[in-house]
Amino acid sequence: MESIIVSAESKRYPICFDNSFSSLAEVCEKTGLNKGKAFVISDTNVGQLYIKEVIDNLKTYFDEVHSLIFESGEKSKNLSTIMRFYDVLLENRAERKSVIFALGGGVCGDMAGFAASTYLRGIKFVQIPTSLLSQVDSSVGGKVGVDYRGAKNIVGSFYQPEFVFINTSVLKTLPEREFKAGMAEVIKYAPIASPKFYDFLWDNKEDIKSIDEKAIRNTIRYCCMAKADVVSKDEKEGGLREILNFGHTIGHAIESVKNFELLHGECVAIGMSAAMEISVSRGYITKQEAEIFRELLRFFGLDLTVEGVTAEEVYKQMFLDKKVKDNKLSFVLIKKFGKTIRTNDVTEEEVINAINYVIR
Ligand SMILES: NC(=O)c1ccc[n+]([C@@H]2O[C@H](COP(=O)([O-])OP(=O)(O)OC[C@H]3O[C@@H](n4cnc5c(N)ncnc54)[C@H](O)[C@@H]3O)[C@@H](O)[C@H]2O)c1
Ligand SMILES: [Zn+2]
C-alpha cells in the first residue's frame, strides 16, 4: 500500500492510500494501536453506505467495535452532537488508548477529531475521509472543531490523527456537486504547490473528471503532499499555513453573504477567480494566465460568478472573518505559478474591483 508521511511538530503519521477498506486493520496493527476498543463515527449518508464494511474489518483487530451515526450536514456540526459522542464514549468506557475512527467528510472528521482531542484530554483517532474535500484538505493537518452560534469552526483545537486512511473508491458515490466543489480545493493547490501539479491537472483532466482510479489517486496524493509539506513547516498557522487560504478571503465572505446556499468549494472557486484579478491588476501574472487557470476550474463544472450580492456587502463581511487581524485583510496572491505572496496591503479599491469581477 502506498503512503506518505506528515511530519508535524507534534506528531509524525502516515496518510495511506487504497481502493478498498480491506487493509484498514493491517494499518491499525502496523501503527501499533491498542486492540481494546474502537468507536466508528459516521454521518447518515456515509454510514448507510460504508460503516458495515469498516466495522467488519475493524472487528478482525479490535476486541470491541462501537459505532455512532449523526445526521449528515453542517447543521450537525455543534456541541450537542459532540455531547452525544461523549455519551457513547462514556457508556462504553472509552479509555485513553481507545481509538475513534472518523468515517465521513470534513464535518465528521472535524467533529470526531474534536471529541477525541477533548475526551479524557485526548484519546487516539484515525481519519477515514470520504469526500474529495476531506481527502485533499480537512483530514490532513489536525485542525478539528465545531461551529458555535453561527460562527464556523470557532470552537476547536489542533489535534493530529494516528493515521489517515484514504480509500479513493468511495468517491464514486459522492454527489456530483460535492465532487466539483472538492475539485476547487484540489485546483487551489495548483498555483501554490509545484508547477508540475498544474501541468498534471491539465494533462489528466478528463480522467480525473471521470474519477479514474489512477488519476484520482495521483491527484489526491499531490494535494496531500502539498498540505503535509505546509503543515510540517507550520502546524499551528504561524504564517506559512495561510497560503492554503488562497481564494478563501473573498470566498468565505461570499459563502456567508449567500447564507451558505453555495458549497464552500464553489465559493473558493469564485474567490480564486477574484484573487487572480488582483494579481493581474498588479502585473504579477498576465490576463491570459489567469484565464487559463479559470478555464481549468470551469472544466470541472465550477461557476466562477455569483449573483444576488453586492461588492460592498461582501467587502464588509470580509472584516468579520476570524482570520482578520488588526482590522487588516490578509490575502494570498499568485505571483507566478508555484510562487505566492501573503499580503495585507491590498487596497479597498483592489478588493472591490476583484469582487465586482465575479458578480454577474
Ligand atoms: N479541518 C480542516 O482543516 C478543514 C479544512 C476544510 C474544511 N473543513 C470543514 O469540512 C467541512 C466540509 O467538509 P465536506 O465538504 O466533506 O462536508 P460533509 O462532511 O458534510 O460531506 C459532504 C456531503 O457528502 C456526503 N458524503 C461524504 N462522503 C461521501 C461518499 N463517499 N459517498 C456519498 N456521500 C458522501 C456527506 O454525507 C455530506 O452530505 C466543513 O465543516 C469545513 O469547515 C475543515
Ligand atoms: Zn477551503
pLDDT tens digits, 21-45 = 999 999 999 999 999 999 999 999 9
- Find the ligand nearest to 252 CA: 2
Contacts of 357 (CB under 8 A, 6+ apart): 273, 274, 277
Cell numbers for 259: 447564507
Atom of ligand 1 nearest to the CA of 140: 3
- Beta-bridge mates of residue 12: 7
Atom of ligand 1 nearest to the CA of 185: 6
Say what the pTM is: 0.96
150: confidence class by pLDDT, cuts 50, 70, 90: confident
Residues comprising the chain, all counted: 360
Identify residue 38 by its one-letter amino acid code.
Answer: A
Say whether pLDDT at 275 is over 80: yes
Q: Do 55 and 166 share a domain, yes or no? A: yes
313: confidence class by pLDDT, cuts 50, 70, 90: very high
Domain end: 173, 194, 229, which one?
A: 173
Ligand 2 centre and the CA of 20: distance in Å?
Answer: 26
Q: Do 287 and 251 share a domain, yes or no? A: yes
Ligand 1 centre and the CA of 147: distance in Å?
Answer: 14
Q: Do 280 and 348 share a domain, yes or no? A: yes
Ligand 2 centre and the CA of 244: distance in Å?
Answer: 8
CATH number (domain holding residue 113): 3.40.50.1970
Q: Which domain holds residue 233?
A: 176-358
Task: Express each pLDDT in 343-358 by its tens digit.
Answer: 999 999 999 999 999 9
Atom of ligand 1 nearest to the CA of 141: 3
CATH number (domain holding residue 302): 1.20.1090.10
Task: Express each pLDDT in 84-100 by its tens digit.
Answer: 999 999 999 999 999 99
Query: Any idea which residues carry the catalytic annotation?
Result: 121, 143, 185, 227, 237, 241, 245, 248, 252, 264
320: confidence class by pLDDT, cuts 50, 70, 90: confident
Q: Do 121 and 169 share a domain, yes or no? A: yes
Identify residue 20 by its one-letter amino acid code.
Answer: S
Q: What pLDDT score was predicted for residue 134?
A: 98
Report helix, strand or coil for 116.
helix
Q: Do 12 and 160 share a domain, yes or no? A: yes
Say whether pLDDT at 238 is over 80: no
Tell me the best of 131, 135, 174, 227 to mutate to test the pocket of ligand 1, counting ligand atoms within 8 Å of each CB and taking the most: 131
Q: What pLDDT score was predicted for residue 81?
A: 98
Say whether pLDDT at 118 is over 90: yes
